[in-house]
Chains A and B, each alone.
Chain A
């Protein structure tokens, strides 16, 4: 059974940093493109970014609102995806989901972790 479990969310002040983790199991993590998607309270879904497999260059892409502030990385030896967030803004407040996916949509999602940016 595929499982994605996010952790690391919490309350952080504007300008602060936070690192989210997503522990994966039940599939070959190293073969999966991995994504982060967020959802502000009461709002819709917003793609944050993704990281390709090492076989597909291992590079990352980001949405414009987070580019140069967020960094996605992966540790295939630990089956874990990361989202390093810095220079956080109040508008980054959201539930952050990790999700697998590439050519057939985002197939598996975690339950999400809440990040609240507030003074």
Chain B
């Protein structure tokens, strides 16, 4: 199974500042035939189900604010919130869907400083 490792476990950022979350996979999730990284990011607020933010490592899901961006390729990925808003307080998960079983990172809790 591909192991997904997120860092940090939590971070506190001031409103309007940048938040960066890292995700590393134990093997590449880049599918060479289409040059796509099979990596997604989710946001989960307390008491709610997860919400898809990013797929293909950098494609923003419809309706997701453009302050959320995804980057990376192969085994190293980042999710960046360019200007943190109060409503962005949540736990963020990365997930690989390159191989079965799909696996999630342990989550990163984002709070306001």
Stretch from A23-31, A75-83, A109-117 forming part of the interface with B: A109-117
* Chain B residues whose C-beta falls within 8 Å of the C-beta of A106 in the assembled complex: 40, 42, 50, 52, 95
A63 within 8 A of B: yes
Stretch from B10-18, B19-27, B78-86, B103-111 forming part of the interface with A: B103-111
Interface string of A21-41 (1 = CB under 8 A from B): 000000000000001010000
A45 within 8 A of B: yes
Query: By DSSP majority rule, is chain A's interface helix, strand, loop, or mixed?
Result: strand
| Total contacts A-B at CB 8 Å | 58
Interface string of A52-70 (1 = CB under 8 A from B): 0000000001111000000
- Is B52 a contact partner of A47 (Cβ separation < 8 A)? no
* C-alpha spacing A42/B56, complex, angstroms: 28
State the 5 A-B residue pairs at the shortest beta-carbon distance, nearest first: A105-B40, A109-B49, A105-B55, A104-B55, A45-B104
Provide a sorted-by-A list of 5 A–B residue pairs whose CB atoms are within 8 angstroms: A45-B44, A47-B101, A101-B97, A109-B49, A111-B49
Using A109-B50, A111-B49 as known contacts, list a sample of 11 further A-B pairs with CB atoms less than 8 Å apart, ordered by residue number in A: A44-B105, A45-B42, A47-B101, A61-B100, A62-B101, A101-B97, A103-B38, A105-B40, A105-B42, A105-B61, A110-B49
